[in-house]
Each structure stands twice: as structure tokens, then as C-alpha cells.
Amino acid sequence: MRKLFCLLLVLALLPFTFAGAEEAADPDKVADPTPAAELTPEPTPEPTPQVTLTPEEWANAKVPYKRMPEPIKIIPYDELPPVVEGQHHYLLLCIDQWSRDPRPAGSKPPTGYGGRRRDMYGNTDGIVLVTLDTRAHRIMLTSFIRDAIIQKSSSTENDEKFGRINYVYNDYGPEELCKIISEHIGVRIEKYILFTFKQIANIVDYLGGVDIELTDAEINALQYTVLRGTVTGPDGKDLQDSGTHPAGVYSFKTTPWAEAQNAKADAKVIKRTGGCSAVLYMRIRKFGGGGDFMRTQRARTVLSLLADKCRTMTWDDAKALANNILENNNMTNMNLDDMLQAAEQAYSLRECTMEELRIPVDGAVRAINHANMMAQEVNWPVCRDAMYDYLQNSWLVMDEDDD
């Protein structure tokens, strides 16, 4: 183990050693004849701004609740580093609508009376970045809270414009959302898939439902909102039944009774399915504490559980799922080849443990009321550092006899 680690370290340093040796030994290299006084000095690069407060000090600083956000230091998209070899990033988005037509490409930000912002295409209340690392054998989920304050691309030095992250798609489109998230977390993101609630529910149902461990608070939140015949408790009772229900693992799966009801329903009616109820679980915000932070955790929980169901898939099953996702989304810039490539990457990592990160990280967020809009101000430099560490923590050193 130590020998292999030392060997890797030596190999990493070799290029620097040889470069210095070649420069010193080059007989054709002559000194620059330009007098030192005539040389134009290289401009001194501006120092990279550093976070002077700890995340806790920043989060607890005495600042007014109703105010303008502090300036946000982003990394312009064309200055972002290339994607780490072997890492593949896919942005999964879910709008807050059960059914909605896609946003037309090139359309202007929708406005209403008096030029006010208008929700026409839906807001992305679900934002999760899936990273497949085929080199380090990792699967990573990074979720973003929906009301994080971001700096819009239209910002200038004299005209800083801020907004909530979940408004970007409705106002400017999914490509702009990829760009803004990339600039804020320092990771280049190009591929995205956008879903409605119903499309997410369809995928959950396609995979045969999901089993979720519910707390008492989550049971209270769901008992009278989920559809009868879609959630069954550990005691075998329907969650819609009156009385108390024990905390434990509940099956979000369409029962035969619900399937019979669906067969009788009008085609325009949202069907009673375990997938629909799983979406309602992911939407819980006002029960059990945690607000939007716990909502993003529930989204990651469902994605992780679905990934667990895929571990026993055959390659044919994986390709069929990729086709299902391609046919069952609201908007994407991925074609069939892209989707199959992502399926192949995921299939090769199907035995990996899912890793999770939430943006903002603990201590890097504080509440703010900006333009009469309740939101969360994020310490983006701290989150970028956390994201960098998260993605770069992928050095694997194996013993000689490891398989």
C-alpha cells in the first residue's frame, strides 16, 4: 500500500522535474537581449477574494433581514475549469406543476400586469445534480434549496441583479439555469433533464414504487393528502385509514384496488399511483421541521432508493429505463445516444454507495427578505470549496493484491 502510494506521488512529480531539467540543459536557449529597464512589467494579478469569516460567523452576522443581498463572487462560465476526467454531470430538474407545456426556446421572460414577473412555465422546486464518476467509482447527488439567492447573468459591476434559483428556468430557460449553477458552484454543467411532477411519478411507478421510512410528522403530513390505495404501512393498513399509524417503512406502490379505480377514471384525471404519493412525500415542507432543507433531503432519499432498485438490473433493463426517461420528460438537451451513454455509466456504478451533498452546506446560509421575497442568502465561496472537496475526494489507492 505504502509502496504504491509513493510510486503514484513520484509519477505525479516527474513532469515538473523533467521540465526544469530540460530548461536548464537547453544549449540553444539564449538570454533575452532586451535591457531590464525596457521590459514591460507583467501586471500583478488581483488577489483572489478570500472568505474572512468562518461559515458560522458569516451565518450569524448581525445583518438586517430585509435588505439587498451582498455581492456574489461567481466564476464566469468561460473561465470554469474543464470537467474532471471520468466525471459526468447531469442536472435533474422538476417544475412545481403536475402538467405543463415546455418553455418555448428563445422566449422572453414572461411578465404580467405592470411588467411584473409571471410564473408561466413553472418554477424548478426540485434541483439535483447527479455526478457519475467512472474513474473513481462514485455516484454523487447534490441538491439545491429552491429559494437560494443567485446572481443573474445580466448583472454588471454597476447593476447587480439577484433572484431566486428556482425562478431561472421560468424566466430564462434551462440552459441559463445550467450556466448560473455552474458559475456559482464552480463546476461546468451542460446536460439537463426537466420533469413535471407527473413524469417523476411515472418513473417511480415504472420502477415498481418505492419503500420509504416515515416519521410521525411525515405520517401526519401525508395521511390526508396521499391517494387511497397508494401507500401501505408496516401494519398492512392503508395510510388513508382513520386512526393512528406507526412510524416505520411504508410502501409507496399502487394497490390492485387503486388500479381498478384508475381504470374507471377519466383520462384527464391524475391517476392514483404510488409514484404520485411519493412526489407528495418529496413535497413535504411544513411538517417535521427543516423546511426546504428537509425537502431537498427527501428528494435525495427517493432518488437513492430508486438507485438501490436499479442495482439488480440487467443491461437490457437499464437501456429500457433510459428509453423510458427519454420519452417521459418535459424538456432535455440529451438525445438517445446521450441517454444510453449515461445509462452505461450508471450501470457500471450500480454497486456503488450513493453519496450526498446539500447546497448550501451547513453554516453557509442565512435568511433574507429581498424585494419583498423571502429567500436564503448563500455563502457561495464556501459552497464552492465544499463542492470542490466533495468532487475531488476521489483518489483511490489499492493494495497490490486488491481485485
The pLDDT of residue 345: 95
Q: Is residue 238 part of a domain?
A: no
- The enclosing domain of 186 has a CATH number of 3.30.420.590
pLDDT in the model for residue 25: 38
Residues in the chain, total: 403
Distances (CA, A) of 208 to 77, 82, 130: 40, 38, 22
DSSP 271-305: P--HHHHHHHHHT--SSSS-HHHHHHHHHHHHHHH
Q: Is residue 276 part of a domain?
A: no
CB within 8 Å of 72: residues ≥ 6 apart: 149, 150, 151, 160, 162, 184, 380
Within-domain flag for 44: no
Q: 62 is written with which cell numbers?
A: 448581525
Predicted pLDDT of residue 158: 62
Tell me what pLDDT residue 47 has. 42
Examine residue 341 and state whether it is found in any structural domain, yes or no.
yes
State the total domains in the chain.
Answer: 1
Give me the pLDDT at residue 357, please. 93
Q: Give the β-pairing of 365-370 and 373-378.
A: antiparallel
pLDDT of residue 40: 47
241 domain residue, yes or no: no
Give the per-residue pLDDT at 159: 66
Q: How many CB atoms lie within 10 A of CB 2?
A: 8
| Residue linked to cell 454531470 | 89
Residue 163 lies in a domain: yes
Contact between 251 and 273 under an 8 Å Cβ cutoff? The reply is no
191 belongs to a structural domain: yes
pLDDT at 53: 77
Q: 354 - beta bridge partners? A: 139
Measured CA to CA, the distance from residue 285 to residue 292 in angstroms comes to 6
Task: Tell if the pTM clears 0.95, that is, is over it.
Answer: no
- Average pLDDT by consecutive 10-residue portion of the chain (403 residues)? 40 39 39 44 45 78 92 94 95 94 93 90 95 95 95 74 95 96 97 96 95 95 91 95 94 94 74 91 78 81 89 92 92 95 94 92 93 93 95 54 40
pLDDT at residue 39, rounded to an integer: 45
Domain limits for position 67: 53-196+331-397
Q: Does residue 119 belong to any structural domain of this protein?
A: yes
- Of 298, 280, 368, 343, nearest to 67 by C-alpha is 368
